[in-house]
Amino acid sequence: MSAGKKRLVLLSPAHPLRGGIAASSERLARELQNAGHEVEILSFRYQYPDFLFPGKTQYTQDPPPTDLRIESRLRSLDPLNWWGVGRALGRRRPDFLIVRYWLPFLSPCLGSVVRLAKRNRHTRALTIADNVVPHEKRPGDALLTRYFLGAMDGGIAMSRAVEKDLLHFAPGLPVRYVPHPIYDNYGEQVERAEALRHLNLDPDYSYLLFFGFIRRYKGLDLLLRALKEPPLQGRRLRLLVAGEFYDDPQPYHDLIRGLGLTGQVILHREYIPTEEVRYYFGAADLVVQPYRSATQSGITQLAFHFEKPMVVTRVGGLPEIVREGRSGYTAEVEPASIAAAIARFFDREDREALLEGVRQEKQRFSWAHMVAALEDLFGEIERT
């Protein structure tokens, strides 16, 4: 292998685990392979206890990828497993471990495995940080995060908010900012008419899409209340909610009934399989992310892939990604502002200009940018 090509192990969820981090790590592994690197994904055999994963299952029914090496060995709550995996990694002497980080709960496992592997005095480690400060905070998070970052030689931040958090917890850590690349592994776009037929939706209405798992910080309740605000009255507009409830669904059902929205809100309250995702985005006129907190979001990158304009709240890194009036609109974290932003989209006469802006902005989020940043970081770390 040439001096510029590396032996890499990516510590991350991957098939048969489901979800955005698993999907994006598999996509990253392919891009690194295409760049000439040798890549293996080391995933979890046991990832979350039930209190951290209230969904129906952590596993996908999709067939395993045939072009990737995936080994499921990590057990998040088993120190003996960490010891064995870390020591085995050290003996294999990869050049770099690339570790996805999004939840302090996993810090003892991931931080210990990396420390053990690095005892070989050859292997270095960097993190791709989805979150540093979690959306739902628990006692001890800061201590756990410092333990994990103490094992890192560098980091990739996918929003400026995460970059700031990385440098707060690990001053002096070499960090590169790269916006989250698009999710282009969910199939091609489908025409609106085909998507509406597939989902059995009435073509006489316009559709807002709220996509992804439902927790309080995602702000679905704010969007439901926004539908009753004056700017959205008298419109042939429906909300399509597609995703599994990680909260108790009853308060949402009560809110829908209490607001008189039963005929305006369509709930598909299950995990959406990979092959179905394109139909939901194909049916949508506008993707809405009314989040109370965020760093970056994979949903935003799905919307870019399917070339859909967005309304996002002004939290975390979302306004960095969705530029006001160019790829969508931004709003404050309250129903009236969200409703006004949605109305601005539907009232816009040159809506095609906004769609063209989405297509142009999409070019900012290529996987080549992520690989280039990683390779640049490899070089800086090796020089230190």
Residues 235 and 378 both lie in one domain: no
Do 83 and 153 sit in the same domain of this protein? yes
**Across residues 72-95, what is the average pLDDT?**
97
pTM: 0.87
Both 321 and 352 in one domain: the answer is yes
Residues 121 and 146 in one domain: yes
312: enclosing H helix or E strand: strand 310-313
CB-CB contact of 61 with 92 (8 Å): no
Res 20: pLDDT: 86
Residue 157 shares a structural domain with residue 253: no
- For 283-334, the pLDDT digits (tens) are 999 999 999 988 778 899 999 999 999 999 999 889 989 999 999 999 999 9
Strands (E), 162-203: 175-177
Tokens matching residue 380 = 């800086």
Token pair for 170: 């690990």
Together in a domain, 172 and 262? no
pLDDT above 70 covers a percentage of the chain that reads 97
The end-to-end CA distance of the chain, in Å, is 22
Indicate the pLDDT class of residue 54, thresholds 50, 70 and 90: low
CATH code for the domain of 74: 3.40.50.11930
In a domain, residue 1? The reply is no
Judge if 98 and 243 occupy the same domain. Answer: no
Per-residue pLDDT at 18: 83
Query: Does 277 score more than 80 pLDDT?
Result: yes
Q: Which CATH number do you get for residue 211?
A: 3.40.50.2000
The boundaries of the domain holding residue 200 are 192-364
Q: Do 358 and 307 meet the contact criterion of CB atoms below 8 Å apart?
A: yes
State what percent of residues in the chain have pLDDT above 90: 83
Q: Residue 57: pLDDT above 80?
A: no
Are both 176 and 220 inside the same structural domain? no
For residues 156 and 222, state if they share a domain. Answer: no
* 233 lies in the same domain as 111: no
Q: Span 153-169, mean pLDDT?
A: 95
Reported as a pLDDT band with limits 50, 70 and 90, residue 61 is: confident
Q: How far apart are CA 23 and CA 238, in angstroms?
A: 29
Cα separation, 335 vs 316, whole angstroms? 18
Greater pLDDT, 198 or 350: 198
205 in the same domain as 175: no
Mean pLDDT of 70-95: 97
| Number of domains into which the chain is organized | 2
